[in-house]
Structure 1
Amino acid sequence: MSNHLHHLLLPLLLLSAVLAAADDGATILKIASSFSTLPSGWSSTSSANYCSWPGVNCDKSSRVTSINLSSKSLSGAISSDISALSELRSISLQRNSLSGAIPSFTNLSNLQSIYLDSNAFTSVSPGAFSGLTSLQTLSMSENEKLSPWTFPDLSQSTSLVELQLDNTNLYGALPDFFESMNSLQSIRLSYNSLNGTLPASLGGSMIQNLWINNQNVGFTGTLEVLSNMTQLSQVWLHKNMFTGPIPDLSKCTGIFDLQLRDNQLTGSVPESLINLPNLKNVSLSNNKLQGPLPKFPISVEKVTVNGTNNFCTNNGDPCDPQVSTMLEIASGFGYPVFLSDNWAGNDACGWSFVTCDSQRNVITVNLGRKALAGTISPAFGNLTALKNLNLNDNKLTGSIPDTLAKLNSLQLLDVSNNNLSGAIPKFSSSVKFVSSGNSLLGKSSGSGDGGTSNSGESGGGSDGNSKSGGNGKNSIALIVGIVVGVLIFVAVVCFVSYKYIVNKRYGKFGKMEGSDAEKGVVKNGAMGGGVNGYGGVPGEMQSQSSGDHSDRHFFEGGNVVISMQVLRQVTNNFSEANILGRGGFGVVYKGELHDGTQIAVKRMECVATGTKGMNEFQAEIAVLTKVRHRHLVALLGYCINGNERLLVYEYMPQGTLGQHLFEWRENGYAPLTWKQRVTIALDVARGVEYLHSLAQQSFIHRDLKPSNILLGDDMRAKVADFGLVKNAPEGKYSVETRLAGTFGYLAPEYAATGRVTTKVDVYAFGVVLMEIITGRKALDETLPDEKSHLVTWFRRLLINKDNIPKVVDETINCDEETMASIFKVAELAGHCTAREPYQRPDMGHAVNVLGPLVEQWKPTSHEDEENSGIDLHMSLPQALQRWQADEGTSTMYGDISYSDTQSSIPAKPSGFPDSFGSSDCR
């Protein structure tokens, strides 16, 4: 019987294998048909001998086990039928031009590796990577055209070793699932829009290489989880928004490359980092680090610690004792950023919240209403001359240190309205002790109602507080407290409901100015309690006088709040001599801090009802302080003073593009060469393209005009003065703009409807290109009417190419190569200023056109190279790597660096002409 069954099953199994192989043949044929260009040796009509097609491997049963078509210039899409190849173990399609959706590989239980890097995919199928239980490598880096998508479901891929998803438009938070990924060694998520905090499960992982650098907005929170990632070797966390101190890395002995620059890290550099045995490359620049300048051993080959750090000494010597004490105190609070922003070298008396006597001894520390968390450090006891300590209205926990009761000079201690607990030290009768609003302070543990209750103020005494007034009084107080609490709750609910109704009614794009939603009156006074945004400015940037009792507004988003008093000081009371420029929205002043740092202060027009609502201003500031890009001027801070609003930007000492183009003689500049002009145009295009990419994700946007395109010391362009993305009624993103008084840059559709899209920016950019070519302003009323409007006049000339040489700025030396470049830029300018928005390219196309023009040049002399500030001997990718290396990121440890200006290069839009004809000039 068993022999008969065996003979029966064998043919069935053979038949099943034949049918499965036939299915694989049909699937391969569908995959071939989905390619626009067939791989060499493939067929789209017959699957005969498909196992012998180049790049296709099969097992003995003719089941497809791998497809390898990397770098084959493929275009088209990947057929969704690929999920039918149940024996597939490897798919390699990297470095092609494939587009469309990345198909689903769901439940291909044998699939071990997926390589889809450097293609042009536009979306990821839902659940594309779920159920891949054998997956070891998922690599799809450099797919920057992908629509925003969240981190994939890899919870069942517990054998995953390598994950490469950098520059793929990921957004959102990381899942907290790494404790189950015991094999994961390398994770690369750089150049995306991820945010949130680092998951705690990373602490138990075996990850060696962690790259999450250059996020558009950035990860937040602390780096404490790193202390438990004992297998780490290369860590790239730069250009995020991490805060708090560098953790103890003594267990992470394998780290050789650590990139922490361009964050918000505070506190002293720990010895555990300095003494890492294998460390070769470390960057800490552009943080808020404190303490002495770290001294790394000679075994560390590259160290960068410059930038916005606030070290007390520059030679590695210890800090002044009082400064060291203040650092210990800051440690108890978790090293908040604003305490670092108030850093003043090696002198504790220079901090805005500290007052000293004539012998430079600290006598007052005023840290009330600073949103502090953490505990009160016993180090306060080292300030032996301390008389007044204000810690009121914070979120402090823990107990009051006994060391405070031993301060012989102490006269006032205010810890009211915190969450303190524990016993109260026995203060002298001469100490005014204020402790109300700490319900657990002074109560014995486990004593129902037997503990002592704290009074609002006390003159000291044996226990520092008065006794309870009895159970009756306590009951009355409890009832009153409940009633007050209910009333406050009802008031809050009513207020939130009102705001919701107002926003619902008036929040749509296109709301007229002066509506009820915008008539909230801002109370007078500088704002306090904020934390630092990107760039940071030392010293004054967060100062508040200790006697300031004005109302304060606390906005989210990591903002630098600057007092009006400081801004008056640094601009010489907004002196006429300090004016940098005037615009439709106010005057810009130059300022200089006490340490020589130069800033640009934009003082808005003072209007009683405000030209923008407080909510809009709050949201704009919250976003702008997080935007970081090499071609964008950093917003350093802001101030609200009554009806006034002021913005503080980094100061660009080389002046504006307009000054270099139109007023170079008056300002003593040399005229810009054509190379410099096109380099500036390219950098502007990159900066605006970056902002457009954020606009697609409902982040920010801005207007473009030459007065806001500033030149840095190295001639790379900077773009300033952002706006806020709005959501248009039809669901497309449009933006708020500040084009008042700059009619020459207005696109026709904006002039007629007031709506702004990215294509309005493209139009304005085209005007800038025309200015760069001709050396003429967008609107020049001194010229005859037929020539006064640059776009109209220039587009008329484009009908005949021979007209272009006649209108080129006379300061440009037009040799044959330069003229060819000018023709290309002129054509691009014409496309960008097409009357219909759909005929204009995206900014990525402008980058694509201008990039090769910059890359092709070779300097005629070393002097020329130095003047341009760019090594023109290098190709553009080499230059990008050099820039990144200069900023402290190593490229010498087996990893390719990517610039934060990488561009998507979209195809020309429908209706976009290849060249100009008379019909295009309308």
Structure 2
Amino acid sequence: MPPSPFLPILLVTSCYTSIVAANDSATMAEFLTTLTPPPSGWSSSTPSCTWKGITCDSSRRVTTISLASQSLSGSLPSDLTSLTSLRLLYLQRNALSGPIPNLSSLVSLQEVNLDNNNFTSVPASVFKGLAGLQNLSISNNPNLLPWTIPADLADSPALVSLQAAGSNVFRMIPEFLGSLSSFPSLRLSYNNVSGPIPSSFNGSGIQNLWLNNQLIGMDGRIDVLASMTQLQQVWLHMNKFSGPIPDLSSCHSLFDIQLRDNDLTGIVPSTLTSLPSLVSVNLDSNKLQGPMPDNPRNIKLILGDSNSFCRDVPGPCDSQVTTLLEIAAALGYPLTLAESWTGNDACAGWTYVTCQGKDVIVITLSKQGLWGTISPAFAKLTPLKSIYLNDNDLTGSIPSSLTTLTQLQTLDVSNNNLSGSVPTFPPSVSLITSGNPLIGKILGDRSSGSGGSASGGLVAGVVVAVLVLLGGIQFVLYKYYFSKRRNMKRRWTRINEHGKQGRVNDRAVASSVNQYGEIPDEMLSEGSGQGDYATGRVTTKVDVYAFGVVLMELLTGRKALDDSLPDEMTHLVAWFRRVKKEDIPKALDPTLSHLDEESMEGVYNVAELAGHCTAREPNPRPDMGHAVNVMAPLVEEWKPVARADEDSYGINVNMSLPQALERWQTDEGITGIFDSVSYSHPERSR
């Protein structure tokens, strides 16, 4: 009888099975030597598939390692990648130490539980290629070196639970977690996570969100919770979240929400305590305002005594208090107002409010770093005589309802970012609007002023920045940029992981002291020339970072570091990184906020370039040649349609670059900065 034609295939398959089974045995033999003491029944004289806690398939491949609560110490083999059939790894509640072993490319692995051990590090790429991973739990490993949620987990689409409480996780929560199709559980309590709740959580299916008790504290607003309709339990206490509590009326399954010990302000939504599944709410130690929430279902409601409710019992606030809170709402419920506007009588010592008898007649909110808009609710305070809103960062227009205030004498809105038409006030009103470059202009009108495109002066500034780049003097320009802000410089210090102290003297570089509370290593000056603007020693990568900050400033019209803004917006780089592409139009300087689709594509390219230039680590940052390739084509595309002699910023666009720089020097009273710099002709530089 002739041999079967399938015999070679069967022989190869059998040989392969024997080899991989032998690899499994070798790995398990190493396992035996690293554990102290070895688990009961483990012996080198018996097959590993017979050991306690080990399950194998019919091919003698290890599929399960289950050694929970076995009083094990020692370490694990550094690499478990040969166990390609492994599905379940349970090692929780032991005393294992050393690095977490490499699990990469174990496509069959579904569950990993390493809770309650003494592991010391999470090496790079240990979770790479785990396509079948569903549950990863590494909580209560306090000896781990600081580590971040690895981006490799983005390639684990089946992930439904990530538990890493009390395990020294730091930095921001990555955006990709909110993009996983089915991800109901995230537990990162008792770590050093910072920054906001990722915007990608908007509309996600997360059910259990535990982010409480962070060392420094997460920040930003919690508006995203309103769209997370599958939420069941939310623990955000002991952080630095700010702004109002959103309307959670769509979260029908929410039964427990803990928001104590934050900086929340604003009025508690009346729908909160009426949620059908809600059992427990803790709002203690915030600065919540308005009426004390009612409790119609008699749930466990903890309010504490540190909030700023107008009354000690549920019920409406005084009408003037209600109106002032409407005004505060348009300003984002700033913390300064929440801390000083307490009680139910606006004339009982409220800061920024002046009364005559029981009537509010003056509101003075000058120079408070306020953002937001001017509320039409001002018109409800009919006795008002003076409103001072000058020197803030207010946007939008002046409400026409303010013209109905018959007693009004002064309205000062100078030095903001207001736009739109100005209502007609009676001659008796002193209206001060200076310092609002867009006041009286309807945003999006392309026919005003110089006849140029809507890009206006800021786009001309981008063109100048490109020419500067092509002239090879971007670093010198950046030194000039900071010379205009000498009075705003600060010294930032930190102790890095090696215990060395570094100093940073520039605010744009200091903008990288972001939500992580740290400074990139290459910006620390230790006399090594790694990057110190104060001494002139700087690497190419620091120069690229600085250029990226300049681009962000040109696009947004904001400073690199602005302490007048809310915490989550103070550092321009950290804030800009969180802006998604679809939200870029909202983040632009108002001059650029109504570009056509073609122009916006160029803006998106510049925004993307700025993000690459300010990458947290130096290596991913591009070289300046890449920046030239991205921005040079925009020089012609963004050239003003009809050039006037000078744009609104006093720069003659017909000047050569050296002439423009000399003009800047003269205007600022600064000399000598560019004296030693040679320039190439702009036309030849393209």
Q: Is the 8 A contact 1:30 1:81 kept in 2?
A: no
Q: Which residue of 1 aligns with 2:616?
A: none
Please show how residues 143-292 of structure 1 align to structure 2 within 5 Å: 143-153=141-151, 154-292=153-291
Q: Secondary structure at the match of 2:401?
A: helix
Summarize the Cα distance change of 1:2–1:166 in structure 2 as closer, same or farther, 3 Å threshold.
farther
CA change 1:501–1:366 in 2 (3 A) is closer
Contact 1:113 1:138 in 2 (8 A): yes
Question: Aligned equivalents of 1:114 and 1:388: distance in 2?
Answer: 65
Q: 2:291 is paired with a residue of what secondary structure?
A: coil
Q: Does 1:91 align with 2:89?
A: yes
Q: How does 1:392-411 map to 2 (within 5 A)?
A: 392-411=390-409
What is the letter of the counterpart of residue 287 of structure 1? N
Contact 1:30/1:79 (8 A) holds in 2: yes
TM-score, normalising length: structure 1: 0.50
Q: In structure 1, which of residues 289, 301, 304 is the aligned counterpart of residue 302 of structure 2?
A: 304
Q: 1:324 to 1:497 in 2, by over 3 A?
A: closer
The answer as to whether partners of 1:362 and 1:383 remain within 8 angstroms in 2 is yes
Map of 1:428-507 to 2, 5 A cutoff? Answer: 428-444=426-442, 447-448=445-446, 450=448, 492-494=481-483
Q: Please, which of 55, 58, 73 is the counterpart of residue 57 of structure 1?
A: 55
Q: Does 1:337 align with 2:326?
A: no
Aligned-pair CA distance for 1:50: 1.3
Instruction: Name the aligned partner's letter for residue 270 of structure 1.
Output: P
1:6 and 1:71 map into 2 onto residues whose CA distance is 48
Question: In structure 2, do the counterparts of structure 1 residues 353 and 127 end up closer, same or farther at CA, with 3 Å as the change threshold?
Answer: same
1:104 Cα deviation after fit = 1.4
**CA distance, structure 2, for counterparts of residue 69 and residue 90 of structure 1:** 11
SS, match of residue 213 in structure 2: coil
Q: CA separation of 1:158/1:554 partners in 2, compared to 1, >3 Å: closer, same or farther?
A: closer
The answer to whether the aligner puts 1:78 opposite 2:76 as a matched pair is yes
Q: Does the 8 A contact of 1:236 with 1:260 survive in 2?
A: yes
Cα deviation per residue 1:571-622 (whole Å; 9 max; x = unaligned)? xxxxxxxxxxxxxxxxxxxxxxxxxxxxxxxxxxxxxxxxxxxxxxxxxxxx
Structure 2 vs 1, CA of residues 497 and 22 (structure 1 numbering), >3 Å: closer, same or farther? Answer: farther
Q: Which amino acid aligns with 2:15?
A: L
Paired residues of 1:178 and 1:205 also in contact (CA < 8 A): no
Kept in 2: contact 1:31–1:81 (CA 8 A): no
Indicate if the aligned counterparts of 1:172 and 1:194 stay in contact, CA closer than 8 A. yes
- Tell me the amino acid that sits aligned with residue 21 of structure 1: A
In structure 1, what is the equivalent of residue 67 of structure 2? Answer: 69
Q: CA deviation at 1:26?
A: 1.1
Residues 510 and 65 from structure 1, CA distance in 2 versus in 1: closer, same or farther, beyond 3 angstroms? Answer: closer
Task: Note if contact 2:270-2:294 (Cα within 8 Å) is conserved in structure 1.
Answer: no
Corresponding residue number in structure 1 for 2:382: 384
Rounded to whole Å, the distance in 1 between the matches of 2:479 and 2:68 is: 64
Distance 2:397 2:179 in 1: 39
- Asked if structure 2 preserves the Cα contact closer than 8 Å seen for 1:287 and 1:307, the reply is no
Residue 554 (structure 1) shift: 7.9
Amino acid at match of 1:317: G
Cα deviations across residues 863-893 of structure 1 (Å, max 9, x unaligned)? xxxxxxxxxxxxxxxxxxxxxxxxxxxxxxx
- The question of whether the paired residues in 1 share the 8 Å contact of 2:419 and 2:442 is answered with no
Equivalent position of 2:129 in the other structure: 131
Contact in 2 for aligned 1:31/1:82 (Cα 8 Å)? no
Contact 1:164/1:188, CA 8 A, preserved across alignment: yes
- Relative distance call for 1:351 and 1:491 in structure 2 (3 A) is farther
CA distance 1:170–1:256, shift in 2 (3 Å): same
- Relative to structure 1, the CA distance from residue 557 to residue 323 in structure 2 (aligned partners, 3 Å threshold; closer, same or farther) is closer
- Note the C-alpha offset of 1:287: 0.4
Residues 716-741 of structure 1: CA distance to partner in whole angstroms, max 9, x if unpaired? xxxxxxxxxxxxxxxxxxxxxxxxxx
- Aligned residue in 1 for 2:16: 16
C-alpha offsets along residues 766-790 of structure 1, whole Å, 9 cap, x if unaligned?
Answer: xxxxxxxxxxxxxxxxxxxxxxxxx
1:32 is displaced (CA, Å) by 1.1
The one-letter code of the counterpart of 1:29 is A
Distance 2:478 2:409 in 1: 37
Is 1:279–1:299's contact at 8 Å kept on the other side of the alignment? no
Bigger Rg, structure 1 or 2? 1
- Separation in 1 of the partners of 2:433 and 2:240? 35
Q: Secondary structure at the match of 1:225?
A: helix
1:122 equivalent in alignment to 2:111: no
8 Å CA contact 2:81, 2:103 repeated in 1: yes
Q: Secondary structure at the match of 2:22?
A: helix
Cα–Cα, structure 1 residues 97 and 386, in superposed 2: closer, same or farther, change >3 Å? same
Within 5 A, what are the aligned runs for 1:730-741?
none
Hey, what's the Cα distance between the residues in 1 that align with 2:91 and 2:145?
20
Q: 1:285 to 1:139 in 2, by over 3 A?
A: same
Unaligned runs of 5+ in 1: 452-469, 472-476, 512-516, 518-552, 560-922
Q: Label 1:445 to 1:234 Cα distance change in 2 as closer, same or farther (>3 A).
A: closer
1:384 deviates by: 0.3
Q: Per-residue CA shift, 1:73-103, capped at 9, x if unaligned?
A: 0000011232210100000000000001111
Q: Which residue of 2 aligns with 1:894?
A: none
Superposed displacement of residue 317, structure 1: 1.4
1:130 touches 1:155 (CA, 8 Å); kept in 2?
Answer: no
Tell me the CA shift for residue 185 of structure 1: 1.0
2:21 aligned counterpart, secondary structure: helix
Give the conservation status (yes or no) of the 8 Å contact 1:269–1:291.
Answer: yes
- TM-score under structure 2 normalisation? 0.67
The letter of the residue matching 2:257 is L
Matching residue of 1:32: 32
C-alpha distance after superposition, 1:439-470 (max 9, x if no partner): 2111245555657xxxxxxxxxxxxxxxxxx9
Instruction: Indicate conservation of the 8 Å contact 2:236/2:259, yes or no.
Output: yes
Deviation at 1:344, TM superposition (A): 2.7
Closer/same/farther in 2, CA of residues 84 and 260 from structure 1, 3 Å limit: same
Identity, in percent, stands at 47
List runs of 5+ in structure 2 lacking aligned partners.
452-456, 469-475, 506-560, 568-686
Q: Indicate how the Cα distance of structure 1 residues 191 and 319 shifts in structure 2: closer, same or farther if over 3 A, else same.
A: same
Task: Tell me the secondary structure at the aligned position of residue 5 of structure 1.
Answer: coil
Is the 8 Å Cα contact of residues 244 and 334 (structure 1) preserved in structure 2? yes
Q: Deviations over 1:779-817 (max 9, x none)?
A: xxxxxxxxxxxxxxxxxxxxxxxxxxxxxxxxxxxxxxx
Q: Secondary structure, in 3 states, of the residue corresponding to 1:23?
A: helix
Return the offset for 1:180.
3.1
**d(CA) in 1 for partners of 2:486 and 2:120?**
40
Shift of 1:502: 8.5
1:760-771 matches, within 5 Å, as none
SS in 2 for 1:33: helix
